Amino acid sequence: MARSWRRHAAAQGGAALDRYAYAFLAGGRQRVVESAVVALTEQGVLSLRAARLRATGEVRSGHAVEEAVMAACPRSRRVQEVIDRVGCSQPVDDIARRLVRLGLLSRRRQRVTRRGRRLLVAAVAEGGLPAYVLEGPATLPTGPVRHGLLAAHPIPDGLGRALRSMGRALDDRHDAPAGDTGDGGSSGGSGWGGGSGGGGD
């Protein structure tokens, strides 16, 4: 099956992309590192417990991204720290440059091009790639690997601003004197409105 999607990629100009190139197209740098973490835990050479990664063996595939993940956690290290470090590493940069060169990723913002999206649609139809590569760790079975990777996903900026604004509004309501209930309510309403605006940006 893997040969099938490699052949299709070559026919579409993808030059036999590997799973990490598809991971980049599907979910960017974070998805590349997440996919490597899953592959390494499946090989039994990487442990993920309590949202921390630790190398427990030697990588066998020789893929540069997997080697970078192993090198990033010789001792126990937080998942997000490994994702941040490896996401900016040379192997992932090399994948991005190749995708740009093939016309599958835009040069400036590294966004997937129309051609890249067509390749992703074809890969889904072929069914030769693991679901976590194309759709992320939410497709993994319930367990420490799924939980650890999902916990590493940051809150989107807009949602984060909205939640912080809500928190400030609630604090204002809590701290307001009893006689200032009306003013406190007005202030709280303004804070919630500001959060909504931030989320829309």
- Greater pLDDT, 134 or 11: 134
CA 2/CA 127 separation, integer angstroms: 9
Percent of residues, the chain, with pLDDT higher than 90: 61
Residue 115 has pLDDT above 60, yes or no: yes
Instruction: Tell me: pLDDT of 182 over 80.
Output: no
**Token reading at 29:** 């740098």
CA–CA separation, 195 vs 191, rounded Å?
Answer: 6
Higher pLDDT, 189 or 48: 48
17: alpha, beta or left? (left if phi > 0; alpha if psi -120 to 50):
beta
> Which pTM value belongs to this model?
0.71
Quick one: pLDDT band at residue 190, thresholds 50, 70, 90? very low
pLDDT tens, position by position, 33-84: 999 999 999 999 999 999 999 999 988 877 999 999 999 999 999 999 999 9
Is residue 138 scored above 90 in pLDDT?
Answer: yes
Tell me, what's the pLDDT at 61?
A: 75
Mean pLDDT of the chain, nearest integer: 80
